[in-house]
């Protein structure tokens, strides 16, 4: 089993979003492991189905938060999410068509998991800063 990828460097300081990120990273790790071990098609399909729903819910929530707090990277975040969803759909289609393969495991690792970790560190962390700035601007 893969080592737990989640660590404190990925926390952005908003508990609900941190929990969602942790869940997504854990599921992507399970996906990589399931594909690497060539588990049953139905098990991998189930992980993909969960991820598809969860990604949609999480991205929607996060984008709404960024808009609400006027985060300066809100548009960049939305564009990045769209790219991620496109990559996810391509991977899902390839899996449905061909099943697991080493190339697909590498694609999931690079296009989903590594991408998501970098996205959290570069983009999502700016939401917490925007929330603090917004709170500081409000009169007491």
CATH code, 76: 1.20.120.50
Whether 10 maps to a domain, the answer reads no
Whether 126 maps to a domain, the answer reads yes
The predicted pLDDT at position 75 comes to 95
The predicted pLDDT at position 93 comes to 97
On whether the CB atoms of residues 18 and 126 are closer than 8 A, the answer is: no
Q: Structurally, how many domains does the chain consist of?
A: 1
Give me the half-sphere count of Cα atoms (radius 13 Å) on the Cβ side of residue 94. Answer: 16
Whether 5 maps to a domain, the answer reads no
Whether 2 maps to a domain, the answer reads no
The predicted pLDDT at position 6 comes to 87
Question: Which residues constitute the domain of residue 63?
Answer: 15-137
Q: Going from the first residue of the chain to its last (140 residues), give the mean pLDDT of each consecutive group of 10, the final group possibly shorter.
A: 74 93 94 94 96 96 93 95 96 95 93 93 89 52
Whether 40 maps to a domain, the answer reads yes
Whether 128 maps to a domain, the answer reads yes
On whether the CB atoms of residues 116 and 84 are closer than 8 A, the answer is: yes
The predicted pLDDT at position 5 comes to 86
The predicted pLDDT at position 129 comes to 82
Whether 130 maps to a domain, the answer reads yes
- For residue 24, give both structure tokens: 């997504």
Whether 67 maps to a domain, the answer reads yes
The predicted pLDDT at position 19 comes to 95
The predicted pLDDT at position 3 comes to 54
- Distance between CA atoms of residues 140 and 135, nearest Å: 10
């Amino acid at each position: 089993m893969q080592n737990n990828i989640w660590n404190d460097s990925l926390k952005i300081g908003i508990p609900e979003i941190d929990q969602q990120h942790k869940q997504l990273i854990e599921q992507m790790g399970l996906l990589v492991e399931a594909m690497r071990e060539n588990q049953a098609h139905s098990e991998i399909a189930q992980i993909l189905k969960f991820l598809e729903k969860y990604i949609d819910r999480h991205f929607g929530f996060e984008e709404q938060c960024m808009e609400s707090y006027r985060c300066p990277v809100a548009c960049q975040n939305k564009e990045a999410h769209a790219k991620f969803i496109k990559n996810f759909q391509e991977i899902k289609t390839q899996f449905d068509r061909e099943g697991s393969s080493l190339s697909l495991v590498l694609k999931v690792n690079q296009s989903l998991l590594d991408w998501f970790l970098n996205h959290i560190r570069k983009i999502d962390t700016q939401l917490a800063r925007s929330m603090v700035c917004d709170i500081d601007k409000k009169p007491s």
